[in-house]
Chain A
Amino acid sequence: MKSVLVVLFLLTGLFANEALLPTELTAWKSLSFVSGAKSANELSNASLVLNNASLVGLHPTPKIQYVTRPTNEGGTVSYGGLFQITLKEKGLYRVVLANASWIDLIKDGKPAQSVAHAQGSENSGIRKMVDYNLDEGTYTLQLSAGADTKSALLVTKLK
């Protein structure tokens, strides 16, 4: 019960003065909690669902074993985590974040190359949006070099 109240409290803080969001981001407002994995072994407990936003829990960087070394792996005082998501079709996808963590999307050991970056509109609670052209399959989503122990996270399909 206490943890539910904590999550609700955090959500109220995230979207205090919410802005109008485009239709592809409407899921951004309703969050479920997912704790990030600290290594590949824990990934099955850190699954994300396409078009469902999550409030994700992150861990101190020194405790994490990333699948692939992140481009920006963060210092000893930063936070990160691993997640997995399965995509059923090829397309243009967007990863939306409430903080400025570095994002790596990895499949078969190779990080996908981002094709566009943007920031969210004012008061949207969105700090960062990164787009990728992705194939179908299961991806590991790594967040690294984050400043906080939590962040809202959404993966959505654009095209």
Chain B
Amino acid sequence: MIKYILTIMIYLLVAQPALQAQPALQAQSAQDSIENKAQIELGRRLFYDADLSINGTMSCATCHEQRRSFADGNQAHPGALDDPGKRNVPGLANIGQFKNLTWAHNHLSGLAEQSLMPIRGTNPVEMGMNGHEDEIRKRLGQNGCYQKLFLLAFPKEKGSIHFGTVSRALESFQKTFISNQSLYDQMMEKGTSLPTKNAQRGKKLFFGAAQCNTCHTAPLFSDDDFHQVQPREQKTTDYGLSDVTGNPKDKNVFRTPSLRNAALTSPYWHDGSAKTLIEAIQKHDLKINQTLSHQEITELVAFIDTLSDMTFVNNPKYAKPSKKCPY
């Protein structure tokens, strides 16, 4: 009997913090190594450097604007050589917490591999650097600050500049993108209610009858998984995940986007076809969605608005770095 009670007590001690630990979005440890700090600093400079594109016109930040939670205000952004964009630019809040990246890919090893898709990808051509690794080495190598930063960030590779080190530095920087200070987070932490009736009702709907949380699962507000929710009759040339897997079952299947900062990232949907959050909600081809009234959709939008984190979009650590070399 004592053993039984002890087991229950141990379970409660272990399990309770886990049940309470709703926000799992923590900033990176201050104990980072010198190498990792240098990689983050280097990645930040690279993120804002248009020399990563063939004609010097596009940096990562051209499409991923901090004030829009690192999304873009366009339906799709044309590439450096004006090739039309294929999909809407996704936001990057908490991107380091995701296993699956981009709108429809499940085989990427991480942000380093993903960052090479816009840099040297050909479908579509975005930054246009496919086959131009030497040009990257030449452009960055003639900059004294980059020479120092690459050496500090990658001492074992003697500061070598190539797609591998560039992409790993970009990964290190993007992993610092933590957004966990929205109004919703603050209210959750204090255990108080959201400030407006609409937002309160929206929250109840979101986690209840409307079942939004099934896919837009807190705390990331994405389940990091793939679903088919777009209207079936929609004409499209973008088949989503099946373009990667070749599996017909994956046709029109896309990754659930996070709703953190969604109010800042319009337009919506993988093709940017929904101009507003209301349109995006209405576009879900789900039975539950068809029963939502206009008032309920307004309430859901009011709740989603509370997921905006202005400390994230104004955080100077993520902004374009000073021209002055930090080392």
CB distance B62 to A72 under 8 Å?
A: yes
* B7 contacts partner chain A, Cβ-Cβ < 8 Å: no
Give the distance to chain B from A151, nearest Cβ to Cβ, in Å.
Answer: 12
A78 to B50, CA, bound (A): 9
CB distance B61 to A77 under 8 Å?
A: no
Give the distance to chain A from B285, nearest Cβ to Cβ, in Å.
Answer: 30
CB distance A117 to B73 under 8 Å?
A: yes
Stretch at the interface among B52-60, B90-98, B220-228: B52-60
How many chain A residues sit at the interface, stated as a range, is 10 to 19
Main SS at interface, chain B: loop
Of residues 54 through 90 on chain B, the ones whose CB sits less than 8 Å from some CB of chain A are 55-59, 61-62, 73-74, 78, 80-82
Give the distance to chain B from A77, nearest Cβ to Cβ, in Å.
Answer: 4
A150 to B62, CA, bound (A): 21
* A137 contacts partner chain B, Cβ-Cβ < 8 Å: no
* B35 contacts partner chain A, Cβ-Cβ < 8 Å: no
Give the residue of B57, B74, B78 whose beta carbon is less than 8 angstroms from that of A75.
B57
* A145 contacts partner chain B, Cβ-Cβ < 8 Å: yes
Give the distance to chain A from B74, nearest Cβ to Cβ, in Å.
Answer: 7
Instruction: Specify which chain A residues have a CB less than 8 angstroms from the CB of B74 in the assembled complex.
Output: 117
Of residues 63 through 86 on chain A, the ones whose CB sits less than 8 Å from some CB of chain B are 69, 71-78
* A54 contacts partner chain B, Cβ-Cβ < 8 Å: no
Give the distance to chain B from A102, nearest Cβ to Cβ, in Å.
Answer: 8
* A100 contacts partner chain B, Cβ-Cβ < 8 Å: yes
A147 to B56, CA, bound (A): 7
Instruction: Specify which chain A residues have a CB less than 8 angstroms from the CB of B82 in the assembled complex.
Output: 100, 127
**Which residues of B are in contact with A by a Cβ distance under 8 Å?**
49-53, 55-59, 61-62, 73-74, 78, 80-82, 139, 320, 323
- If A74-B50, A100-B82 are given as contacts, then 5 extra A-B residue pairs at C-beta distance below 8 Å, sorted by A number, are A72-B61, A73-B50, A75-B51, A146-B57, A147-B81
6 residue pairs, one from A and one from B, having the closest CB atoms:
A75-B56, A78-B56, A75-B51, A75-B50, A77-B56, A147-B55
